[in-house]
Chain A
Amino acid sequence: MSAPASIPVDPRRDGRRLALLLVATPFVLWILLIVVIPHVDLLLISLHEKVAPRVFKTGIRNYVEFFGEPVYVQALVRTVAMSLLATALTLVIAFPVAYYIAKLARGRARTALFMACLLPFWVSELVRVFGWMMILRETGLLSNLLIWAGITAGPVEFLYNDVVVMIGLVYTSLLFMVVPLISALDSLDDSLIEAGYDLGGNAVSILREVVVPHAMPGIVAGSIVVFMLTLGNYLTPTLLGGKSSQWFTAQIYTQFITRFNWEVGSAFGFVLLATSSLIVWIGLRLTGQSLSSTLGR
């Protein structure tokens, strides 16, 4: 560089910068306007203590209120436990489905099966949940079928218990587990499975030592997505479980809408965010995976 004063302008470099800017802008705006700014605002609100009408001071009393009231803590623990169970059940149900689609089905059967998994997701979650309600309510299809078959004397209410909430959550989450599992299992070379048999392995040992370790990134990715979706789900537990569901999101809803207590509601929201982040972190540590190796693929 003999003449540092005149910096050569590379038009291609400018073009690339413009392209990057154009590509990144919607993403940055989305993150800023819908994720970052509201969260910062909520965080600030959650740190407001109401001392008198329209008079606030900064403090952590809203969080103290959460931990001081066993009902709230119980609701959170219960929600987390149910979500973990729902994630585990979804994994157990989705794994054979994904294995069949990825490894055993061929050609059109494979496409058809994948579409069968995808199809329910073309209607909204609300409609799907109402579908379950039509089947399971006291005057619904299942109840009437049992009466018609003479198995029960009168109508039976299947809604509003934990089992039905679990069914609804697993049903809602299945696709989000099946897709990452298929992509993980798809990349497993069939000859690895054959080599396992050739060296004396059986179905159980090959599953444990070859298939599951290979599919681990997919398993973890699917589990994270399903866990987050379940933990933050409001519709399914509320509609299928009713008042007895005690879902934590319903508590947040109550604070914001029924009690109009945004300060405590925001604090609850941040407790939920911290809890889910902590559990995902523990899950990654336990399975020896990292976020980039699972969701980043």
Chain B
Amino acid sequence: MSIDLEVRTVSKRFGRFTAVHDVSLQVPKGSFFSILGPSGCGKTTLMRMIAGFEQPSAGDILINGASVLATPPNRRPVNMVFQHLALFPMMTVAGNVGYGLRRRGLPREDIARKVDAVLARVGLATAGPKRIDQLSGGQKQRVAIARCMVLEPTVLLLDEPLGALDLKLREHMKVELKQLQHQFGTTFVYITHDQSEALVMSDQVAVMNGGRFEQVGTPQDLYYRPSSAFVAGFVGDSQRWMATVTAADAGRLRVRTDSGLTIAATAAEGASIAVGARVEIFVRPEAIVLEPGGSPARSAEDGVNQFDGSVDSLLFNGAASRTLVTVAAAAAPGQRDTLAVALPAGLPTGGLAPGEAVRLRFPADRAIAFAAPSGAAPSGAAPSSAASETAS
């Protein structure tokens, strides 16, 4: 598979501040590549370097196998959909879409034909003579994409283009963007701080933090096999504990959380964790199975965690409904933990009521342990962090 865009060990320093640190990536032709990270992680700087608005301090950027560092932005085979779209308000829709073609000096009839064709492809066939301020948010989005796609770029860069839209439209545009990418077959590089956008749309996602790539992989890789505590925490929701290792046997760990629970966990791939080490434990809400409290206790088989608790509250949100379950630690009376558990889709919410006794089970290989950064304050029982991430 040919590589459309390659970034080789690129760094960018502003004075003494390093915004992008030794980043490398390869984007195969026709794929949807996302760069996911919190604001200020350097993802916008990286994208501006690919577009040509910033020069890297070190490293190289190749498009179609040729370095573009000496190419100014108006000659790179790369176009960008800006964060606030940057449509020209002084032109009509057709004027916006035809801008790049006019710059290339195409004959007027060719421009009109291509503009009509691309507008039809994004479903705005009759919008050509409209003014930009007559369009809705989603239509503006499509005009911004059409304005770039009409130039047939090798790579289309998208800088958080959904950020300004309301939630409902954002959900809709996620699907639409993915469809447009399929339809045009162009390589998309998409930057976002919204993990769900990245997971839904991408073939490959790079998680960026503090100017470095934490992990590059498929959405499934990031979700099920995160390679760092940052990725595990940033991608998807997680139940998170700070804990100390009490027993370790070839990656199979037994840990004691700061809140007093004893959990069987699995060390993350490539991590070597010794007894006594401080670790962070991540469990996905849907990995936890909820059973009625009265059911006969199964034999505590090895590798399955089992806790008795009671329902604290029900957070109904359709398919993404959660139950908060309070678990009392047997070893530390008075300490309690609140876990967010995904409600199984089949289970009617009416089956549970606050105060009801339930039993939680999750396998050890779904509880992933990462070495805690040294000096980090023990976060103790931190169910609130999981809850707040759901809200964002």
Same assembly: yes
Contact B103 A194 (CB under 8 A): no
**Chain A nearest Cβ from B242, distance in angstroms:** 42
Chain B residues within 8 Å of A197, by CB: 53, 72-74
Name which of B78-86, B247-255, B282-290, B300-308 contacts chain A: B78-86
Does A202 sit within 8 A of B, measured CB to CB?
A: yes
A194 to B86 Cα, complex, angstroms = 9
- B90 and A199 within 8 A (CB): no
Report if B16 contacts A (CB, 8 A). no
A96: Cβ under 8 A from any B Cβ: no
Q: Is B91 an interface residue (CB 8 A)?
A: yes
Listed stretches A1-9, A110-118, A208-216, A233-241; interface member? A208-216
Chain B: minimal CB distance from A225 (Å): 23
Do B104 and A200 touch across chains, with their CB atoms under 8 A apart? yes
Instruction: Please tell me if the beta carbons of B86 and A201 are within 8 angstroms of each other in the complex.
Output: no
B103 contacts A201, C-beta separation under 8 Å: yes
Given A195-B80, A209-B91, A209-B99, verify A202-B74 contact (CB < 8 Å). yes
Nearest chain A CB to B256 CB, angstrom units: 52
B99 A201 Cβ-Cβ under 8 A: yes
State the interface size on chain B (CB cutoff 8 A): 26
Kindly state the separation between the CA atoms of A195 and B82 in the bound complex, as whole angstroms.
8
Q: Which residues of B contact A214 (CB under 8 A)?
A: 89-90
Contact string, A168-207, partner B, CB cutoff 8 A, digits 1/0?
0000000000000000000001011011111111100100
Q: Are B103 and A200 in contact (CB under 8 A)?
A: yes
CA distance A113 to B320 in the complex (A): 57
Is B193 in the interface zone, CB < 8 Å from A?
no
Interface residue from B52, B80, B88 paired with A209 (Cβ < 8 Å): B88
Say yes or no for B145: interface residue by CB 8 A criterion. Answer: no
Provide the main secondary structure of the chain A interface. helix
* Given the contacts A199-B99, A201-B99, A194 and B104 also touching, CB distance less than 8 Å: no
Decide: A195 and B53 in contact? CB cutoff 8 A.
no
Task: Indicate if the CB atoms of A191 and B99 lie closer than 8 Å.
Answer: no
CA distance A199 to B103 in the complex (A): 8
Give the residue of B75, B88, B151 whose beta carbon is less than 8 angstroms from that of A210: B88
A194-B53, A205-B103, A209-B99 known; A200+B86 contact, CB < 8 A = no
Cβ-based interface call for B148 (8 A)? yes
CB <8 Å contact, A199 and B79:
yes
Decide: A191 near B104, CB < 8 A? Known: A202-B74, A209-B91, A213-B90: no
Q: How far is the CB of A112 from chain B (nearest CB, A)?
A: 22
Task: State the Cβ distance, A192 to closest chain B Cβ, in Å.
Answer: 5
Q: Of the candidates A195, A202, A213, which one forms a contact with B86 in the assembled complex, judged by CB atoms under 8 Å apart?
A: A195
- Annotate A74-103 by CB proximity to B: 1 below 8 A, 0 otherwise: 000000000000000000000000000000
Kindly identify which residue among A191, A200, A202, A205 contacts B82, using a CB–CB cutoff of 8 Å.
A191
Complex-state Cα separation, A19 to B88, whole angstroms: 42
Q: Is the CB of B80 within 8 A of A200?
A: no
Q: Which residue on chain A has the smallest CB distance to residue B82?
A: A191
The closest CB in chain A to the CB of B90 belongs to A213
Smallest distance from the beta carbon of A30 to chain B beta carbons, Å? 37
Find the A residue at minimum CB distance from B103: A200
A194 smallest CB distance to B (angstroms): 6
Which one, B53, B89, B100, contacts A200 given CB within 8 A?
Answer: B100
Q: Are A200 and B88 in contact (CB under 8 A)?
A: no
- Contact check: which of B78, B79, B84 meets A191 at CB < 8 Å? B84
Contact assessment for A189 and B84 in the assembled complex, using a CB-CB cutoff below 8 Å: yes
Closest B residue to A194 using CB positions: B53
Who on chain B is nearest to A210 by CB? B88
- In the assembled complex, B147 has its CB within 8 A of some CB on chain A: yes
Are B74 and A201 in contact, CB atoms less than 8 angstroms apart?
A: yes
Per-residue 0/1 for B63-103: is the Cβ within 8 Å of any A Cβ (1 yes, 0 no)? 00000000011110011101110111111000000011001
B162 close to A (CB within 8 Å): no
* Residues B90 and A200 in contact, CB atoms below 8 Å apart: no
Verify A210–B90 contact, CB threshold 8 A.
yes
Q: Which of B51, B80, B91, B151 has the most CB of A within 10 A?
A: B80
What are 24 A-B pairs at a CB distance below 8 A? Answer: A191-B82, A192-B86, A192-B88, A194-B80, A195-B80, A195-B82, A195-B88, A196-B88, A196-B99, A197-B53, A197-B72, A197-B74, A198-B51, A199-B74, A199-B99, A200-B75, A200-B104, A201-B99, A202-B103, A209-B88, A209-B90, A209-B91, A209-B99, A214-B89
Interface residues of B (CB under 8 A from A): 51-53, 72-75, 78-80, 82-84, 86-91, 99-100, 103-104, 147-148, 151
Q: Report, nearest first, the 6 A-B pairs whose CB atoms are least far apart.
A: A213-B90, A199-B100, A195-B86, A200-B103, A191-B86, A197-B74
Spell out A's residues near B (CB within 8 Å): 189, 191-192, 194-202, 205, 209-210, 213-214
